[in-house]
Chains A and B, each alone.
Chain A
Amino acid sequence: MKAVIYFLILAVVYVLLYLKNAATPVPEGCEHLREACHSCQDASCPASGVYEAKGGVHNA
């Protein structure tokens, strides 16, 4: 039971921080950063410039 409560607390903290981060406006000029990354062709990586080209959807 302690482990469950402890896990839930951590999960809530993470979710809150994630939502706060998502709500923080991106600085000017940084809206299309992902297009700049061509370091590798890993289509499964959200940071990769080929991610969207392969049909991936970014959450933020």
Chain B
Amino acid sequence: MEFLTLAIGAILVNNIVLSKFLGLCPFLGVSKSSKSAIGMGFAVIFVIFGASLITYFLNYYILVPNEIEYMQLITFILVIAAFVQFVEMFIKKNSPSLYKTLGIYLPLITTNCVVLYVAQDNIAQGYDLLHTIVNSIAVPVGYMLVLYLFACLRERLDSADTPKAWKGNPIALVTAGLMALAFSGLAGIV
């Protein structure tokens, strides 16, 4: 039950994009098509999950025993960057179609603050391994959910009768703001 509460909180109530306003660059950049949004979402889930686990073990089995916790930030940044390089290499070799869809956005995952946030938040909250796993999956699932919803809305907006000055990013940003307002109504359900 506790894990369910944590998951629902991470996905809906404390949604990383609409409540904490992190990861906005890929959120706006990848949401022009629902297909690329789904692909980006899965890539983010994979990277955040993997990077969070690696940083968790690095923190508790290397940094803490050696009393070099001050290296946490640089460690996490290097681990995330290295992991994204690995993911890009893996996608290039194994899924050219996915690379064609996502390739341009993969560098955005490296600098995506959501990845670093989840890695650091797991440590800051004092989560054990199971809570870390749940949080590391739930947060990017929430990210993917919002990304997909936003992509669907943008696809509809493209064919809508929008004033010329509002077409593209202006109306998209207004829509994102309205989504944030809508999600703020979920506060208190867990």
Interface residues of A (CB under 8 A from B): 2-3, 6-7, 10-11, 13-14, 17-18, 20-21, 24-30, 33-34, 36-37, 39-40, 45-47
The answer to whether the Cβ of B181 comes within 8 Å of any Cβ in the partner chain is no
Of the candidates A2, A17, A24, the one whose C-beta lies within 8 Å of that of B93 is A24
The answer to whether the Cβ of B39 comes within 8 Å of any Cβ in the partner chain is no
Which residues 148-190 of B sit at the A interface, judged by CB distance below 8 A?
169
CB nearest neighbor in B for A18: B85
CA distance A31 to B103 in the complex (A): 10
CA distance A39 to B68 in the complex (A): 41
Number of interface residues of B (CB under 8 A): 31
* With A3-B70, A47-B104 already in contact, 17 other A-B pairs whose C-beta atoms are closer than 8 Å: A10-B74, A10-B78, A10-B82, A13-B78, A21-B88, A24-B89, A26-B92, A26-B99, A26-B103, A27-B92, A30-B100, A30-B103, A39-B28, A40-B29, A40-B169, A45-B108, A47-B29
> Chain B interface secondary structure, helix, strand, loop or mixed?
helix
Instruction: Knowing A13-B82, A20-B89, A40-B169 are in contact, say whether A3-B71 is a contact too (CB < 8 A).
Output: yes
CA distance A20 to B84 in the complex (A): 12
Q: A33, B96: Cβ atoms under 8 Å?
A: no
CB distance from B83 to the nearest CB of A (A): 8
CA distance A21 to B91 in the complex (A): 10
CA distance A6 to B75 in the complex (A): 9
The answer to whether the Cβ of B60 comes within 8 Å of any Cβ in the partner chain is no
Q: Can you list 14 residue pairs at the A/B interface with Cβ under 8 Å?
A: A7-B71, A10-B79, A11-B78, A14-B78, A17-B86, A21-B86, A30-B100, A33-B104, A37-B104, A37-B105, A39-B29, A40-B25, A40-B29, A46-B107
Chain A residues contacting B62 (CB-CB under 8 Å) are: 6
The answer to whether the Cβ of B81 comes within 8 Å of any Cβ in the partner chain is yes
Chain B residues contacting A25 (CB-CB under 8 Å) are: 92
Of the candidates B75, B78, B89, B169, the one whose C-beta lies within 8 Å of that of A21 is B89
CB distance from B103 to the nearest CB of A (A): 5
Instruction: Knowing A33-B100, A34-B104, A47-B29 are in contact, say whether A7-B92 is a contact too (CB < 8 A).
Output: no
